[in-house]
């Protein structure tokens, strides 16, 4: 069976595919999106828990003020008002002692210097070590450090073991989904330069106040209004440069094919005639897992929007209701957790919560639901940086989009949206510089020190 031929066939309804589809539709190209799941958003979406019927997010996804393309994408969908913003980072140690890092009156990159100086989680000597490393980060060229790990970079800058465990590790593992001794230094340096040193607004944290799927539901109406179309619950069995064959046997031909599937699916479904050097490169990429744990207690346990648990296997907690009785725990780089039973996961997470929030020991756990994302992100190791293909492509070849492509960003929602927009620009013959929302610009002092947002040539 053959369907009507679209201008562009987009495989995958995650953020990369949706971002590309909307840009193509805005330019007048008829885009058709094929998505295996029954809802949009890819890995950054929600599911209906069969145990309770409740809509839960796969995992907690976080945006920052520096994520200009993702925020512009959400704004186009009318989803901006569904986000909650905070500007404080709360570090909580075993026993309950807290350190709150927040912007102060000084210009970037000194905007958190006063609160960091008062943070009790590090000694004065340890804070001085962090300050020296931050200065080095302001002067660093991230691309020059793509072949080494961030652990190697930090060792070169004399960071004590206690500083690694209490400061660098929780931030980097959560942002990059890899441990310090695995993540490429270029990726981690980007996180600190663009997310923490660029400016006060850059480090602001946004989380969705509603299930993630609600952010992206309007994309279907927007796509159809612009002349595009969407097929949900349709798996892709095979694709080439001008066609895709679905699991039910439907064959769709198109003027161009944009593959926004996860890289492992792209590798298994691409036609041999369309398998070029980019597919050979991404065959070298690996995954890194994330574990999300939804917990409900019989009384409030978390009194801040989110918190970093210092030197605990459970890295972050997010408050999911106003009272603080519902909490979402996140374990990134969760290789040691993915084979655990849910009761074992519960024991470990509760031990971390009780250690850092002592009053929670009196609370009774009402409900727990763990969600294992074994293929949550690609592993941004030094080896992977060599193999990441450029987002986009050229006529006569399959176009590529996905957070694993070379966008100047790690595996994030921002990276996914950037990749989709870059791929759409390649299909439309537009310049790369016109494809992306302008990045957040540094303040005068930050600019003078050479801190600049990432660009893609």
Residue 21 to residue 293: CA distance in whole angstroms: 32
User: Is the per-residue pLDDT at 208 higher than 90?
Assistant: yes
User: Is the per-residue pLDDT at 183 higher than 80?
Assistant: yes
Residue where a domain terminates, one of 349, 378, 407:
378
Residue 430: inside a domain: yes
Question: Which CATH number do you get for residue 316?
Answer: 3.90.660.10
Residue where a domain terminates, one of 175, 203, 231:
203
Residue 113 sits in the same domain as residue 239: no
Residue 352 to residue 344: CA distance in whole angstroms: 13
Residue 446: inside a domain: no
Question: Do the bridges between strand 229-232 and strand 31-35 make them parallel or antiparallel, or are there none, so unpaired?
Answer: parallel
Residue 244: inside a domain: yes
- What is the mean predicted confidence (pLDDT) over 200-219? 92
Residue 122 sits in the same domain as residue 194: yes
Residue 265 sits in the same domain as residue 400: yes
Per-residue pLDDT tens digits for 66-91:
999 999 999 999 999 999 999 999 99
- What is the mean predicted confidence (pLDDT) over 130-157? 96
Residue 449 to residue 57: CA distance in whole angstroms: 40
pLDDT at 457: 54
Of 198, 197, 189, 175, nearest in space to 147 by CA: 189
Residue 396 sits in the same domain as residue 356: no
Residue 163 belongs to what domain range?
88-203
Residue 439: inside a domain: no
The first and second tokens of residue 416, run together, are 């996914």
Confidence of residue 307 (pLDDT cuts 50, 70, 90): very high
Confidence of residue 6 (pLDDT cuts 50, 70, 90): confident
User: Is the per-residue pLDDT at 445 higher than 70?
Assistant: yes
Contact 44, 403 (CB under 8 A): no
User: Is the per-residue pLDDT at 188 higher than 70?
Assistant: yes
Residue 411 to residue 132: CA distance in whole angstroms: 27
Residue 392 sits in the same domain as residue 369: no
Rounded to 5°, the CA angle 296-38-258 comes to 120
The first and second tokens of residue 399, run together, are 């176009």
Strand partners, 365: 297
Count of structural domains, the chain: 3
pLDDT at 225: 85
Contact 326, 319 (CB under 8 A): yes
- The region of weakest confidence among 111-115, 247-251, 409-413, 423-427 is 409-413
Of 25, 117, 66, 135, nearest in space to 413 by CA: 66
Question: Do the bridges between strand 8-11 and strand 205-208 make them parallel or antiparallel, or are there none, so unpaired?
Answer: unpaired
Strand partners, 11: 34, 259
Residue 196: inside a domain: yes
Residue 56 to residue 41: CA distance in whole angstroms: 13
* Prior bond of 109 cis (ω within 30°): yes
- What is the mean predicted confidence (pLDDT) over 131-148? 94
- What burial class does residue 140 get, using C-beta atoms within 10 Å of its C-beta: 0-12 exposed, 13-18 middle, 19+ buried? buried
Q: Is the dihedral of CA 302, 307, 310, 313 positive or negative?
A: positive
Residue where a domain terminates, one of 345, 360, 378:
378
Residue 190 to residue 452: CA distance in whole angstroms: 10
Residue 137 sits in the same domain as residue 97: yes
- The region of weakest confidence among 92-106, 188-202, 388-402 is 188-202
Residue 96 sits in the same domain as residue 191: yes
Residue 117 sits in the same domain as residue 163: yes
Residue 273: inside a domain: yes
Distance of CA 47 to the CA centre of its chain: 18
Residue 258 sits in the same domain as residue 158: no
Residue 175 sits in the same domain as residue 93: yes
Share of the chain above pLDDT 90, in %: 86
Contact 187, 385 (CB under 8 A): yes
User: Is the per-residue pLDDT at 222 higher than 90?
Assistant: no
Residue 408 sits in the same domain as residue 261: yes
Residue 358 sits in the same domain as residue 395: no
Mean pLDDT for all residues in the chain:
94
Residue 57: inside a domain: no
The helix/strand/coil state of 347 is helix
Residue 432 to residue 423: CA distance in whole angstroms: 9
Question: Which CATH number do you get for residue 277?
Answer: 3.50.50.60
Residue 72: inside a domain: no
What DSSP character marks residue 168?
Answer: I
Question: Which CATH number do you get for residue 145?
Answer: 1.10.405
pLDDT at 1: 40
> How many residues are there in the chain?
457
């Amino acid at each position: 069976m053959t369907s009507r031929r679209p201008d562009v066939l987009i495989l995958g309804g995650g953020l990369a595919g949706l971002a590309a589809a909307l840009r193509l539709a805005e330019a007048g190209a008829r885009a058709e999106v094929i998505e295996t799941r029954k809802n949009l958003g890819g890995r950054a979406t929600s599911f209906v828990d069969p145990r309770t019927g409740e809509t839960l997010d796969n995992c907690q996804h976080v945006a920052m003020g520096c994520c200009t393309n993702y925020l512009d994408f959400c704004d186009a969908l009318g989803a901006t008002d569904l986000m909650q913003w905070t500007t404080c980072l709360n570090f909580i140690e075993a026993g309950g002692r807290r350190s709150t890092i927040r912007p102060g009156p000084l210009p970037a990159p000194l905007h958190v210097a006063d609160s960091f100086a008062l943070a009790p989680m590090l000694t004065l000597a340890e804070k001085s070590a962090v300050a020296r490393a931050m200065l080095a980060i302001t002067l660093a060229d991230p691309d020059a450090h793509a072949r080494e790990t961030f652990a190697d970079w930090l060792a070169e800058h004399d960071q004590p073991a206690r500083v690694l465990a209490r400061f660098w590790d929780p931030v980097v593992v959560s942002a990059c989904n890899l441990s310090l001794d695995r993540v490429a230094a270029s990726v981690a340096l980007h996180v600190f330069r663009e997310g923490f040193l660029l400016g006060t607004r850059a480090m602001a944290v946004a989380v969705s106040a509603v299930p993630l799927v609600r952010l992206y539901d309007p994309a279907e109406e927007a796509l159809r209004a612009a002349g595009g179309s969407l097929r949900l619950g349709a798996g892709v069995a095979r694709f080439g440069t001008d066609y895709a064959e679905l699991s039910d046997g439907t064959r769709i031909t198109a003027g161009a094919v944009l593959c926004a599937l996860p890289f492992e699916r792209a590798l298994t479904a691409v036609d041999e005639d369309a398998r070029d050097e980019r597919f050979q490169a991404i065959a070298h990429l690996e995954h890194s897992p994330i574990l999300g744990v939804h917990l409900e207690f019989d009384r409030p346990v978390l009194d801040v929007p989110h918190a970093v648990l210092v030197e605990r296997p459970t890295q972050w907690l997010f408050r999911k209701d106003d009272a603080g009785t519902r909490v979402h725990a996140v374990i990134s780089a969760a290789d040691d957790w993915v084979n655990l039973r849910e009761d074992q996961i519960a024991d470990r997470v509760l031990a971390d919560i009780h250690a850092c929030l002592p009053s929670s020991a009196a609370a009774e756990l009402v409900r727990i639901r763990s969600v294992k994302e074994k293929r949550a992100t690609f592993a941004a190791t030094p080896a992977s940086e060599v193999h990441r293909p450029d987002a986009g492509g050229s006529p006569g070849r399959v176009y590529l989009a996905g957070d694993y492509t070379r966008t100047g960003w790690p595996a994030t929602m921002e990276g996914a949206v950037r990749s989709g927009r870059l791929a759409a620009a390649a299909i439309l013959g537009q310049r790369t510089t016109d494809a992306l929302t302008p990045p957040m610009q540094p303040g005068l002092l930050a600019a003078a020190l050479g801190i600049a947002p990432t660009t893609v040539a």
